[in-house]
Amino acid sequence: MPALVQGMPEVLVGRTALDARVRWVHVSDSPGVARLLDGGELLLTTASAWPEQPEDLRALVAAFAAAGLVGIVIELGAHYRYVPAVVIDAARATGLVLIALHREVKFVAVTEQVHRRIIDEQTMALRARDEVRTLFTELALRGAPADYVVQRLARTLRAPVILESLAHEVIVADLADAEHTVLDGWQERSRLSGRDPVDDRTVVPVQARGTRWGSLVALAGPAHPAGRLAVLEQGATALALGRLADTDGEDWSHLGRRRLVDALLAGRYGSLPEAAMRLSAAGLLAEGVALLGLAVSGAGVSAVEGAAGEVGGRALCGTPRRADEPAEGWMPILLAVPPATSFSGATVDRFLARLRAGGGRVRLVVGPRVDPGSPEAVLTRTLDSAREALDLAESGEVGEGGVMWVRRHPLRRFVAALRGDHRLLAHAESMLAPVLALPPARRDDLLDALGAVVAHPGNRTAAATAAHVSRSVFYQRLDALEDVLGVRLDDGEVLAALHLALAVHRAHAGTAASGARPS
């Protein structure tokens, strides 16, 4: 400060303690001033009324330290030409900062500057707290979702902010500009954080009416005028109010997992390592587990998670694809199972039995299994597995209450993935146009016959059985098909083209009938 610099200050004792916080500046020469102090003050003095005996000086400095004084600034010339050695020794013994001024200084100028700065900082802190309180109160009143509240906290604190469950699983995280590695091993590190003295984080509980739902964690970052703890507490209040006002009763852990799955399937992540780290922090991408992508219709999140536990696994559920009818929509699921578990046969039966325990029709599509490997590769293949399951599910090919494996239906999977391609649509329309133009009853008979013959190429007896007609009637319909289409059904290339055309037609007919929207 200019007012102090002109006094040519010299630090005699306590250079390492110069960063001590000064709460106030007091000017006094009285040896009895110690009883008037509250702690945290800096004393400016000429020492003109101090005692002369060394023992009395030592006792005076000790009294200053006991009262919480942080430092003494002695102006030389008026009383002392130099600071007595006993005062220096006593200051060093008590940990006080001791500074000598070699020129006269207007103490009033120093106090004015210091007090103005202190008051300005307090005013700034009050203003900042008011702004933060207003911000998060408005978010609470608007019913802002948890992820947006966490995002605003991270921006306000300019530091990573994580909302975690009581089990220390990451529900929502906004890493600000930090590396995604801050989430590495999050659950274990979070459990041990209170025991690590160097762990620079701020934690506040998110709770109301005696119920605690989780915690807000702010990692290391710059200071905030309102105080990092005060900011985090305002965010926790907004989250608690939002939780109390949540009428759908969705558990926070479900909410965080759902949004994570939705973001991953939509490609809303910065990099594969970051996405893998987030999935690991959510407790799914653990070492040595196999993963699958599923699509389920007719079961809720709790039922799916219970079914996953039934087979020794763990599931993260996304948002059903038809928001207007969530119970009927296809819900994407990322399922982790022990590597020795084969998700087929009795395992799938147990999984479905648990899903059906609540009643209603349940349908399941199982994507390709992804065995353990590098986190990034496993994540990529798992997301592909889930997308393929959703594509096949939304094609309308899954029977009532049935189960279907993507691997067993490569053509349907191909058509489902590309059913929006105009070239596939043009192919189907071109190949099947003569049949589709027939009267409905005749059209349906011939399409059934075509479906049977492409499903059982080379075995007309099995095809007739699949079409539920006698062999003679079936052969008549095949003849009619050849006449209408102008092709030979014993030509392999023609049969393959018709199989593809029929699959495209059925996929779009099923989509239209179910009202499902293609992804």
Instruction: Return the SS3 of 131.
Output: helix
Least confident among 175-184, 218-227, 247-256, 357-366: 247-256
User: For the chain, what percent of residues have pLDDT higher than 70?
Assistant: 92
As a whole number, mean pLDDT of residues 239-243 equals 83
Q: What pLDDT score does 85 carry? A: 92
Mean pLDDT of all residues in 139-149: 82
The distance of Cα 263 from the centroid of its chain, to the nearest Å, equals 9
Residue-level length of the chain: 519
Full DSSP string of 37-82 = --SSEEEEE--TTS-SSHHHHHHHHHHHHHTT--EEEEESSSS-SS
pLDDT at position 88 is: 92
Neighbour tally for 372: CB within 10 Å: 14
Topology, domain 135-247: Beta-Lactamase (3.30.450)
Beta bridge partners of residue 519, listed in sequence order: none
The pLDDT of residue 512 = 44
The set of long-range contacts for 88-93, using a CB threshold of 8 Å and a minimum separation of 24, is 88/12, 88/13, 89/58, 90/57, 90/58, 90/61, 90/62, 91/12, 91/13, 91/14, 91/61, 92/13, 92/14
Residue 262's CB is within 10 A of a number of other CB atoms, namely: 14
Mean pLDDT (whole number) for 140-155: 85
Is residue 250's pLDDT more than 90?
no
pLDDT band at 71 (very low <50, low <70, confident <90, very high): very high
DSSP 209: T
- pLDDT at residue number 253: 65
| 402-417 pLDDT, tens digit each | 888 888 877 777 776 7
Q: Mean pLDDT, the chain, as a whole number?
A: 84
Please give the single-letter amino acid code of residue 428: A
Q: Within 10 Å of residue 479's Cβ, how many Cβ atoms? A: 11
Helices and strands in the chain: count of H runs, count of E runs: 18, 14
| DSSP-assigned letter for residue 22 | P
pLDDT of 224 over the 90 cut = no
Mean pLDDT of all residues in 52-78: 91
**Listed range (115-119, 218-222, 432-436, 484-488) with the worst mean pLDDT:** 115-119
Residue with tokens 């809303």: 268
pLDDT in tens, 285-318: 877 889 999 999 888 888 998 999 999 999 999 9
State the pLDDT at residue 365.
Answer: 92
Q: What is the pLDDT of residue 87?
A: 92
- Tell me which of 224-228, 299-303, 505-509 is least confident: 505-509
In our burial notation (b when 16+ CB lie closer than 10 A, e otherwise), range 322-354 reads: beeeeebbbbbbbbbbeeeeebeeebbeebbeb
The answer, yes or no, to whether residue 375 has pLDDT greater than 60, is: yes
25-43: pLDDT as tens digits: 888 888 888 888 888 889 9
Is residue 333 within 8 A of residue 343, CB to CB? The reply is no
DSSP string, 380-438: HHHHHHHHHHHHHHHTT-SPTT-EEEGGG-HHHHHHHHTTT-HHHHHHHHHHHHHHHTS
Residue 323 confidence (pLDDT): 43
Comparing 422 with 376, the larger pLDDT belongs to 376
Query: What fold is seen in the domain 2-105?
Result: 3.40.1390
- Spatial distance between the Cα atoms of 7 and 75, rounded to a whole number of angstroms: 8
Helix (H) or strand (E) holding 213: strand 211-218
pLDDT at residue 252, as a whole number? 65
**401 close to 362: Cβ distance less than 8 angstroms:** yes
pLDDT at 516: 38
As a whole number, mean pLDDT of residues 424-437 equals: 87
Domain chopping of the chain, boundaries: 2-105, 135-247, 254-417, 422-514
Task: Give whole-number Cα distances, 47 to 43, 60, 78, 379, in Å.
Answer: 10, 11, 8, 72
Confidence of residue 157 (pLDDT cuts 50, 70, 90): very high
Q: Which of 85, 83, 72, 89 is nearest to 17 (CA)?
A: 72
